[in-house]
């Protein structure tokens, strides 16, 4: 190829890549900001796997992994030993030469990244006493997963490497599309104390009866997700952002001391072998019970916790189409169960708890589980699994069919209102995670908000259906205002990746769930939102969605362009702050031809063409006077019409001239400034001089031609005494004082603290306690 041609080609390539890159971002040349630009610039291109409507495409595929696992608890040594046979199905169109597994238990290995990078996060959640033990934390040896065997189905050794919390198995032969690979792993690990070691699973020791509650989760080598949009997802687990996994069927044998009670993902296949005759009878009674039945009673649990059996029993579980498996086991657990009818299907709702949680959990837990399934099913899809479990295990964390929660009574059996509400909130939240992300299999390690934001949103709806006065911590728009008021450098986009999110609670839980509430209450309305959200859940149940799939489905199903909202609320950090800068009041005078309260206007300067025309000659309107109308005679009476011409229909403008029906009307011209940067529909509450009120909602399109300022005229019969923006605090506007006319003085922070609350003390103290309770939960739910 000649040199010149090479150069030309080079220049062309540069140009094309420049243009391509440029088209990926917002248009920097826009002169009225870019909130309304196509979001597609920021999303992956639709394809045959994921369509532009947000639905799975005609060639959508996903992998599958089935597990046959046997584990045995060595209680005296706090060691779990396990072996698993995994069948991995390559449903992708790609040949694979290796597969990746997650070894989350290696999070506890001292060489794991998190022990170098995340200490501040861990320390901030530790008490002073725990902090003094931080040195041993660093020195802890012997934690992490030991792989004792790795073979194919014929017991031939496999080659593998371990990269911290990830393990790659190099396949002996290429795994082609449509093929399956069966392999076997043996492993063991030292179970950590979960209250001081962060992470997820572990044991909690109860000194009063010298027993442990074992919460065994993220414990076995688990297939990482391989998808059309990213290949293998190999981001390390550092204790924060959770996980996504491949769906499959599980068969798990759990061998524990004979006096233990197991609470597990899946359905137990051999209660006959592990329960007493009396317990089995009560379990059968629970199948039709309308109130929770104690399958293992408090008396039995108290009795069992006094001694330790050295015999063993094996509990056998099966779970279909789940993405993970976890269990709890202890001899000190009470167990109650009740059948619930969830959209025509029987689901066994169950709770397991120690004596310290009995006064709360016995009364509430199982009923809250059933309530959660009912409300979530209504907004998504019918709960598909046969059981749903709540275990009191000090820390909130979710697994398929199995939620671990907190909430314990005082020694005398009493409990505070905050403890009760915190418990109800966390049970709804963790059970709710069955839907997001256990079934709608989004990936928190990349998009924290897809798990937590969507779930916190439905948690809020469920809490409010439990009790309309439930002091929900997150959800209503005004509750995110404090966060949105933070300085710019303290705010981060919701779309920030996994562990890079600094304010997880306020951002991934709070701001994301608030955004969905604003969409539901203010932008789409409940009917359209509920339809679209249910469609998203239905489309992506038992599949792997991305944020683009959610954004696109919500637009496609609601028929509303929401690009501005996703761009501003999810990709951006600007707060909402619409100020009402000026209110002008106009009236027509009695003759209907002039305007009384107009600002002084000038005459139009005579332009050069007019100046050069002989105005003494006859014009058409002089020759044919039928061309003359109202405006011919009243040339300067038009300014009010110009001000609000967009508001008046054609027949109404004729009315101005012909009937004078506008004479008694009040014209209010409002000017808004978008001070926060995040656009939002202005919501106006008019209070009239007769004391009545009216709320008017202006579409967000008012900002389309100028995102900085917007002016609009409103015509009212009555005279307006005052105006306030966003009267129901539904848009998360961070400054209410600039949205009022006449301008009102806002109470200072000091006044707010000293004023007795009109809403009632319970409400506000509940909020604070809820907030504390949610902050206390470790490291995240």
- Which residues contact Zn ion by CB under 5 A? 452, 781
Minimum distance from CB of 462 to Zn ion (Å)?
13
Closer Cβ to Zn ion, 452 or 549, answer by number: 452
Closer Cβ to Zn ion, 395 or 713, answer by number: 395
Q: How many residues does the chain have?
A: 781
Q: Which residues pair with 341 in a beta bridge?
A: 346
Minimum distance from CB of 474 to Zn ion (Å)?
11
Minimum distance from CB of 379 to Zn ion (Å)?
17
Contact assessment for residue 554 and residue 545, using Cβ atoms and an 8 Å cutoff: no
Only one residue has tokens 């808004």, namely: 672
Cβ count within 10 A of residue 675: 17
Closer Cβ to Zn ion, 109 or 781, answer by number: 781
Minimum distance from CB of 694 to Zn ion (Å)?
40
C-alpha to C-alpha distance for 86 and 185, rounded to whole angstroms: 8
Closer Cβ to Zn ion, 105 or 452, answer by number: 452
CA trace torsion 378, 380, 382, 383 (10° rounding): -110
Closer Cβ to Zn ion, 437 or 766, answer by number: 437
C-alpha to C-alpha distance for 461 and 470, rounded to whole angstroms: 10
Minimum distance from CB of 80 to Zn ion (Å)?
25
| Distances 538 to 134, 502, 520, 530 between C-alpha atoms, Å | 46, 31, 18, 12
Closer Cβ to Zn ion, 238 or 781, answer by number: 781
Minimum distance from CB of 427 to Zn ion (Å)?
12
Minimum distance from CB of 512 to Zn ion (Å)?
11
Minimum distance from CB of 34 to Zn ion (Å)?
33
Closer Cβ to Zn ion, 84 or 452, answer by number: 452
CA trace torsion 92, 93, 99, 102 (10° rounding): -30
Minimum distance from CB of 698 to Zn ion (Å)?
36
Minimum distance from CB of 780 to Zn ion (Å)?
7
Question: What are the structure tokens assigned to 275, written together?
Answer: 């329960």
Angle between helices 358-379 and 526-540 (to 10 degrees): 100
Question: What are the structure tokens assigned to 87, written together?
Answer: 């069948």
Q: Which residues pair with 223 in a beta bridge?
A: 101
Question: What are the structure tokens assigned to 480, written together?
Answer: 């995110």
Minimum distance from CB of 473 to Zn ion (Å)?
13
Minimum distance from CB of 349 to Zn ion (Å)?
19
Cβ count within 10 A of residue 269: 13
Closer Cβ to Zn ion, 214 or 449, answer by number: 449
Closer Cβ to Zn ion, 457 or 741, answer by number: 457
* Angle at 343 (CA atoms; ends 339, 344), nearest 5 degrees: 65
| Distances 621 to 433, 627, 633, 656 between C-alpha atoms, Å | 75, 6, 12, 21
Closer Cβ to Zn ion, 322 or 679, answer by number: 322
Q: What is the residue-wise DSSP string for 8-77? A: HHHHHHHHHHHHHHHHHS--TT-SS-STTS-GGGGSPPP-SSB-TTSSB-TT----EEEEEEEEEEETTT
Question: What are the structure tokens assigned to 109, written together?
Answer: 């290995």
Closer Cβ to Zn ion, 509 or 533, answer by number: 509
Minimum distance from CB of 431 to Zn ion (Å)?
11
The 10 Å CB-count burial string (b at 16+, else e) for 307-334 is eeeeeebbbbbebeebbbbbbbbbbbbb
| Distances 700 to 47, 567, 606, 628, 762 between C-alpha atoms, Å | 31, 14, 39, 40, 36
C-alpha to C-alpha distance for 388 and 364, rounded to whole angstroms: 14
Minimum distance from CB of 234 to Zn ion (Å)?
23
Ranges of H-type helices in 560-646? 563-565, 608-611, 620-623, 630-633, 639-644
Q: What is the DSSP letter of 712?
A: E
Minimum distance from CB of 242 to Zn ion (Å)?
8
Minimum distance from CB of 216 to Zn ion (Å)?
19
Closer Cβ to Zn ion, 226 or 399, answer by number: 399
Closer Cβ to Zn ion, 118 or 781, answer by number: 781
C-alpha to C-alpha distance for 102 and 100, rounded to whole angstroms: 7
Using CB atoms, what's the residue nearest to Zn ion? 781
Residue 45: exposed, middle, or buried by beta-carbon count in 10 A (0-12, 13-18, 19+)? Answer: exposed
CA 51 to chain centre: 23
Minimum distance from CB of 433 to Zn ion (Å)?
6
| Distances 34 to 29, 516, 706 between C-alpha atoms, Å | 9, 22, 10
Contact assessment for residue 353 and residue 261, using Cβ atoms and an 8 Å cutoff: no
Closer Cβ to Zn ion, 474 or 567, answer by number: 474
Closer Cβ to Zn ion, 62 or 506, answer by number: 506
C-alpha to C-alpha distance for 514 and 516, rounded to whole angstroms: 5
Ranges of H-type helices in 674-760? 749-754
- Residues 644, 648, 654, 656: is their CA dihedral positive or negative? negative
Closer Cβ to Zn ion, 90 or 781, answer by number: 781
Contact assessment for residue 457 and residue 513, using Cβ atoms and an 8 Å cutoff: yes
Closer Cβ to Zn ion, 452 or 643, answer by number: 452
Q: Which residues pair with 90 in a beta bridge?
A: none
């Amino acid at each position: 190829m000649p040199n010149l041609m090479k150069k030309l080609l080079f220049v062309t390539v540069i140009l094309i890549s420049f243009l391509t890159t440029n088209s990926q971002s917002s248009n920097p040349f826009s002169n009225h900001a870019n909130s309304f630009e196509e979001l597609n610039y920021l999303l992956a291109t639709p394809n045959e796997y994921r369509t532009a409507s947000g639905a799975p495409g005609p060639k959508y595929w996903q992998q599958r992994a089935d597990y046959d696992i046997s584990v045995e608890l060595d209680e005296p040594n706090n060691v779990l030993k396990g072996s698993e046979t995994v069948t991995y199905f390559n449903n992708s169109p790609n040949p694979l030469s290796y597969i990746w597994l997650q070894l989350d238990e290696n999070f506890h290995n001292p060489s794991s990244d998190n022990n170098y990078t995340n200490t501040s996060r861990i320390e901030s959640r530790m008490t002073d006493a725990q902090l003094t033990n931080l040195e041993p934390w660093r020195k802890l040896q012997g934690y992490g997963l030991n792989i004792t065997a790795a073979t194919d189905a014929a017991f031939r050794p496999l080659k593998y490497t371990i990269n911290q919390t990830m393990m790659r198995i190099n396949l002996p032969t290429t795994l082609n599309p449509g093929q399956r690979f069966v392999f076997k792993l043996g492993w063991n690990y030292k179970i950590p104390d979960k209250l001081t070691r962060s992470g997820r699973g572990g044991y909690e020791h109860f000194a009063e009866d010298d027993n442990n509650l074992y919460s065994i989760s993220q414990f076995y080598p688990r297939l990482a997700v391989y998808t059309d949009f990213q290949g293998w997802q190999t981001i390390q687990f550092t204790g924060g952002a959770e996980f996504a996994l491949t769906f499959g069927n599980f068969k798990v044998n759990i061998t524990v001391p004979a006096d233990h009670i197991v609470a597990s993902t899946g359905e137990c296949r051999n209660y006959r072998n592990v329960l007493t005759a009396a317990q089995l009878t009560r379990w059968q009674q629970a199948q039709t019970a309308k109130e929770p039945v104690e399958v293992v009673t408090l008396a039995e649990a108290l009795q069992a916790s006094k001694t330790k059996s050295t015999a063993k029993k094996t509990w056998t579980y099966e779970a279909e189409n789940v993405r993970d498996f976890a269990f709890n086991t202890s001899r000190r657990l009470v167990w109650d169960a009740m059948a619930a009818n969830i959209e025509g299907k029987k689901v066994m709702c169950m709770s397991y708890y120690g004596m310290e949680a009995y006064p709360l959990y016995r009364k509430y837990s199982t009923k809250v589980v059933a309530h959660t399934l009912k409300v979530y099913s209504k907004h998504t899809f019918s709960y598909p699994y046969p059981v749903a479990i709540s275990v009191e295990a000090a820390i909130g964390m979710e697994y398929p069919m199995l939620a671990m929660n907190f909430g314990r009574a005082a020694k005398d059996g009493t409990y505070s209102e905050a403890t009760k509400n915190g418990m109800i909130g966390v049970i709804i939240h963790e059970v709710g995670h069955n839907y997001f992300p256990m079934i709608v299999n989004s990936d928190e390690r990349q998009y924290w908000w897809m798990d937590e934001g969507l779930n916190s949103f439905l948690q809020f709806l469920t809490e409010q259906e439990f009790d309309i006065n439930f002091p929900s911590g997150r959800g209503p728009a005004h509750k995110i205002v404090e966060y949105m008021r933070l300085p710019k450098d303290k705010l981060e986009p919701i779309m920030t990746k996994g562990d890079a999110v600094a304010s997880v609670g306020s951002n991934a839980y709070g701001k994301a769930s608030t955004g969905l509430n604003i969409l539901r209450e203010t932008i789409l309305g409940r009917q359209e939102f509920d339809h679209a959200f249910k469609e998203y859940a239905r489309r992506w149940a038992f599949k792997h969605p991305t944020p683009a799939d959610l954004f696109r489905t919500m637009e496609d199903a609601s028929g509303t362009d929401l690009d501005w909202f996703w761009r501003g609320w999810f990709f951006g950090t600007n707060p909402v702050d619409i100020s009402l800068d000026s209110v002008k009041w106009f009236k027509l005078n009695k003759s209907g031809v002039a305007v009384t309260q107009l600002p002084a206007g000038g005459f139009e300067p005579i332009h050069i063409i007019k100046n050069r025309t002989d105005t003494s000659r006859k014009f058409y309107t002089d020759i044919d006077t039928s061309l003359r109308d109202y405006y011919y005679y009243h040339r300067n009476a038009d300014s009010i019409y110009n001000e609000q011409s967009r508001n008046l229909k054609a027949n109404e403008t004729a009315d101005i001239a012909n009937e004078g029906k506008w004479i008694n009307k009040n014209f209010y011209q409002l000017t808004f400034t978008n001070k926060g940067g995040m656009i939002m529909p202005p919501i106006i509450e008019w209070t009239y001089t007769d004391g009545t009120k009216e709320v008017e909602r202006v579409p967000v399109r008012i900002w389309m031609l100028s995102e900085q300022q917007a002016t609009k005229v409103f015509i009212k019969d009555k005279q307006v005494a005052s105006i306030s923006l966003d009267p129901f605090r539904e848009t998360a506007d961070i400054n209410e004082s600039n949205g009022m006319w006449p301008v009102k003085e806002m109470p200072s922070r000091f006044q707010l603290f000293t004023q007795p609350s009109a809403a009632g003390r319970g409400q506000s103290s509940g909020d604070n306690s809820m907030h504390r309770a949610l902050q206390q939960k470790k490291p995240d739910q």
